[in-house]
Amino acid sequence: MKEISGKTNVIGVIGNPIEHTLSPVIHNTLCSLMGIDAVYVPLKVESDIESAVKGLSESGVYGLNVTVPFKRDVMKALSSVDEEAAEIGAVNTLVRSNGGYKGYNTDMQGLLRALEAKKVELSGKKAIVIGAGGAARAVCFALMHGGVTDIYLLNRSVEKAEDIAKDVPIVKALSISDYKKIPGDKYLMFQCTSVGLEPADGLVIDDDTFYIMAEYGYDLIYNPAVTPFNKKLSELGIRNDNGLTMLLYQGVIAFEMWFGVKISRNISDAVYAELCKRLYGNNVVLVGYMGSGKTSVGKEIAKMRGMDFIDLDEYIEKKEGRSIREIFEFESEEYFRNLETRTIKSLFKLSNTVISTGGGSVLRKENRDNLRKLGEIVYLKADVDTLVDRLKGDESRPLLQAESEAELRKRIASMLESRNPYYEIFADQVVYTDRLSPFEIAEIIEV
Ligand code: ATR
C-alpha cells in the first residue's frame, strides 16, 4: 500500500459517470514504476464543470484528465487551450499553467503512438473510418497528422460525417449504406462506433468484400478483447488490434506532460499488462522451457483451484489430427509457429483455465500480447541440470534430438540463454522449480 503524506501530489480524472474508469490503473501503476509521489483518483462532477475545475485548481490538484461528458465544455474553465486540442474540439488532459490549467488532447497522439508501437505505417496510406462520434473525430485528425492521404468516413447519419469532413480536408463523408462506393484498394480500417460493446452486437457492415479491402484494422473498443470487427478481420487473415493501446498511450502521454518525464517502451508494456489483467482473463498461463513442468504443474493447479486445464501443444495436435513431431517433419517449424499463433489468438473466450504453452510460443510478440490478455503469466524456471534430467531419452521433442547427453546439455543451455530474457520480462511471476514436485510448485504459485 502506497504511503500518502502531506507532500503527495493529487492527480485524477473528472467525468460522469466515472465508476468504471481504467485510468487509475494506468496512472497509479506509472507512479509506482517511475517512483513518483502522487495518487490518481476518479472525481465525479455532477454538472458545474467550471466550479469544479476552479475548486480543483485552488486545491492544488497537480493534473487532470477529462472524460465524457465534459471534453468540450471544460474548455471554458481553462487558462488556455493547446492548438491541437482546439482543432479537435475536445480536451482530455489538463496541465497546470498560469494559476489555472492548460487543456490538451492526448487521444490523437495516443493513437499515433499506439500505431507506431504496432509498426503500422501511416504515411501515404488511405484509410476507412467507421463512425463519426468524438472518437472518430480524433482518429481522423490523427490519421491526417500521420500522413494518411485519403479517409473514407462512413456513418449511419451522414450529417455527422460531413461535420468532420468540414474540419478534416482529407475526409470524404459517406453513409454506411454507401460503402460499396469506396474504390477498390488497400486501406487502414478504424472501427469507431459503439457497435461491438454488447455481447449481442454484430458487424456494422456485414459483407466480407468490404473487409478484404483492409490491410490492417483497429477497433477503438477494448472490452470485449475481441470485437466482431476483430474477429472478422482475423478470419480473413488480416492483422488487427483492439483499442487498449490507444487508451494506454493517451494516459502515458498525459503522465509525461504532468511530470516532465519520458515513459520507456518497457514501462508502457508493464502498464499494458496491468490493464489486461484488470480487464480480461482470470486464467493462468504457464510459460517456460520444455521440461520445466508446465503440463504436470498446470494439472496440479487446475485440480487444486477447481480450474480447467489446456495443454496448448496437445490442443494443436488434436485439432490437426497429427503430432507436433509429424507437423515439424512433414511441414516446417514456420508452419507450426503460424498454427500456434492462430491457436493462441482463438483462446480469448477461455476463463478459469490453466494454459500450458509450448516453450517457443513466447518468442513472437503477437503471441505475448495475446497470452497477456488471457491472465496471469507464470514462468516455471529450471536450471540446465534439471532440464537435462527430465528431457534425456524423450523422443517426442523435435528440437531436442541429440547424439549424446553432452550434446543435449549444450543445446538446452544455448536455447535457455536466448529464451530466458523473454520469459523473465514477460512473466508476472517467476517460480524456481528445481527439486520441487509439481504439487509443491502449484502451491507456491499465487493466483
Ligand atoms: P464516441 O464519442 O465514443 O465516438 P458517440 O459520439 O456516441 O461516441 O458515437 C457513437 C458512434 O457509433 C456514432 O458514429 C454512431 O452513429 P450515428 O452518428 O449515426 O449515431 C455509431 N453507432 C452507434 N450505434 C450504431 C449502430 N447500431 N449502427 C451503426 N452505427 C452506430
What type of residue sits at position 296?
S
The model carries a pTM of 0.79
* pLDDT value of position 391: 83
Cell of 24: 487509475
Alpha-carbon span 111 to 133, nearest angstrom = 16
Alpha-carbon span 353 to 303, nearest angstrom = 11
First vs last C-alpha separation in the chain? 19
CB 395 within 8 Å of CB 401? yes
CB 146 within 8 Å of CB 115? yes
Ligand 1 proximity of 221 Cβ (cutoff 6 Å): no
Residue 156 C-alpha to ligand 1 middle, in angstroms? 8
Cell of 154: 462512413
Q: Which of 432, 45, 138 is nearest to 151 (CA)?
A: 138
Ligand 1 proximity of 194 Cβ (cutoff 6 Å): yes
* pLDDT value of position 10: 98
* pLDDT value of position 165: 98
Nearest-atom index, ligand 1, CA of 135:
4
Q: Which of 261, 194, 258, 259 is nearest to 229 (CA)?
A: 194
Residue with cell 499506439: 114
Could you tell me the CA-to-CA distances from 298 to 165, 283, 374, 438 in Å, in that order? 54, 11, 15, 8
Residue 194 C-alpha to ligand 1 middle, in angstroms? 6
Ligand 1 proximity of 67 Cβ (cutoff 6 Å): no
Q: Which of 167, 227, 148 is nearest to 192 (CA)?
A: 227
Q: Which of 292, 326, 412 is nearest to 404 (CA)?
A: 412
Residue nearest (by alpha carbon) to ligand 1 atom 6: 133
Ligand 1 proximity of 157 Cβ (cutoff 6 Å): yes
Nearest-atom index, ligand 1, CA of 157:
19
> What's the burial of 148, exposed, middle or buried (CB within 10 Å: 0-12/13-18/19+)?
buried
Could you tell me the CA-to-CA distances from 139 to 142, 143, 177 in Å, in that order? 5, 6, 21
* pLDDT value of position 274: 87
CB 139 within 8 Å of CB 219? no
**71 given a catalytic annotation:** yes
Residue with cell 482463438: 346
Ligand 1 proximity of 355 Cβ (cutoff 6 Å): no
pLDDT in tens, 223-252: 988 899 999 998 999 999 999 999 999 999
* pLDDT value of position 399: 63
* pLDDT value of position 397: 67
Q: Which of 71, 345, 373, 381 is catalytic?
A: 71
Query: Which residues in the chain show pLDDT less than 50?
Result: none
Q: Which of 26, 23, 9 is nearest to 267 (CA)?
A: 26
